[in-house]
Chains A and B, each alone.
Chain A
């Protein structure tokens, strides 16, 4: 790796000060499972690396009546090792327990998976489906942003220079709500999504009261398919409704052909994976009804 300086600030203010350093290429370091690979390969550059793991707010993992707050540096294993979070947000657990293998999950953070802004990021579709909000600190003060607006291009996020993703917030699960994330890969684990589908639903009896659907690996950014979720609202919980929503998701996908699959294959998978993700979300929603 090329030379860089290293700082390990203790406060958000200090981190923002370092990230705002004029004329320097500064990168925030959480688990390092993307950043250090990219720095080594020359795919990203830094002359200052700011380790954000010693900052209190970025390590917060709090489930209470206002929902779930996940500090941007919290590694995946802390999320799936919390039984109360597993019960409340099983769709999120689907995603964080299949990012990398055991060693990666011991380091990789949910915030980093989002900030890295890969189109294939496994955590992002489910965060979009769950309506997550990003809390951002910066030289101009704090702001929040819906997670579907956070990724703007492959490898690029909406953070302005000097800004830092502090935490991700999820609203408390409603009665009758369920969510799921499913990933298609040609092996059992440790691979990058050919297609990923996240779905969340809120059921009122046998009718959809709300639904949100998002896809991975089928567009330059994780794709929020608002129309697919909206199509379910007010519809009966049956195969016809699910198939119609899955068809909207399939049509919305703009995949490319690469070594993981052709565009045509991916479009087909979008329909299949969306259908299955909705079905699993419904099954979970019925358990909480």
Chain B
């Protein structure tokens, strides 16, 4: 049986190290080894987007990244979104707009939407829908999610103007 690999990475700004098998996905490493269960497993084949994280500056589905590939990488997860005890405007907007029901898809949507707003403060509805096409929700019908992202974009813009 091959040896485990020692991985050091930066997760949500903090240095982290863990041991994993080469066959373990980064999603498994986050949840089962590091206990960071905010990132959800949905389909485990890249279609649903529940396990979305920021990896090396891009959003990816962490079920399709090996844990060993995280060596030396910068990673952001849903656990790093809130600002201390205050919710991020996206989290607040998802609550206010009831943009979730069962909640399994929500961390992935919020991580993906934040990556969009970080690079494009004023995306239109079409841009939001295409950007989030790799995130599936079986509860809301998507409209509430799109409205929440639009509201969060407006709040972030106000904050930036202050």
A interface with B by C-beta (< 8 Å): 1-6, 8, 29, 31-33, 36-37, 39-41, 49, 51, 53, 75, 77, 100-104, 106-107, 188-190
Contact = CB atoms under 8 A, between A and B. Distances in A.
A107 B58 contact: yes
A104 B52 CA distance: 10
Contact of B133 (A8, A106, A190): A190
A270 to B, nearest CB: 26
Interface stretch (B19-27, B32-40, B86-94, B139-147): B19-27
B60 A107 contact: yes
Contact of B58 (A1, A2, A37, A106): A106
Interface stretch (B65-73, B76-84, B96-104, B149-157): B65-73
A49 B22 contact: yes
Contacts of B131: 102
Nearest to B58: A106
B138 to A, nearest CB: 15
Contacts of B132: 102
24 contacts: A4-B2, A8-B68, A32-B64, A36-B63, A36-B64, A41-B45, A51-B69, A53-B69, A75-B58, A101-B133, A102-B59, A102-B112, A102-B132, A103-B49, A103-B52, A103-B112, A104-B46, A104-B61, A104-B64, A106-B58, A106-B60, A107-B60, A107-B64, A189-B130
A160 to B, nearest CB: 26
B127 to A, nearest CB: 11
Contacts of A189: 130, 133
A164 B60 CA distance: 25
Q: How large is the interface on B (under 10, 10 to 19, 20 to 34, 35 or more residues)?
A: 20 to 34
A190 B134 contact: yes
A192 B125 CA distance: 24
Contacts of B65: 32, 107
B84 to A, nearest CB: 28
A138 B124 CA distance: 48
B2 A5 contact: yes
Nearest to B59: A103
Contacts of A106: 55, 58-60
A167 to B, nearest CB: 21
A47 to B, nearest CB: 9
Contacts of B160: none
Nearest to B54: A106
A262 to B, nearest CB: 25
A100 B55 CA distance: 17
B1 A37 contact: no
Contact of A3 (B23, B59, B61, B69): B23
Q: Which of A3, A31, A106, A190 has the most CB of B within 10 A?
A: A106
Contacts of A101: 49, 133-135
A106 B131 CA distance: 12
A209 to B, nearest CB: 36
B5 interface: yes
A2 to B, nearest CB: 7
B46 A37 contact: yes
A6 B150 CA distance: 42
Given A4-B22, A6-B22, A51-B69, A104 B134 contact: yes
Contacts of A5: 2, 22
B8 interface: no
A37 B134 contact: no
Contacts of A77: 58
A31 B64 CA distance: 8
B10 interface: no
A188 B64 CA distance: 23
Q: Which of A37, A75, A101, A189 has the most CB of B within 10 A?
A: A101
B23 A4 contact: yes
B66 A36 contact: yes
A100 B44 CA distance: 15
Nearest to B108: A103
A119 to B, nearest CB: 19
B46 A103 contact: yes
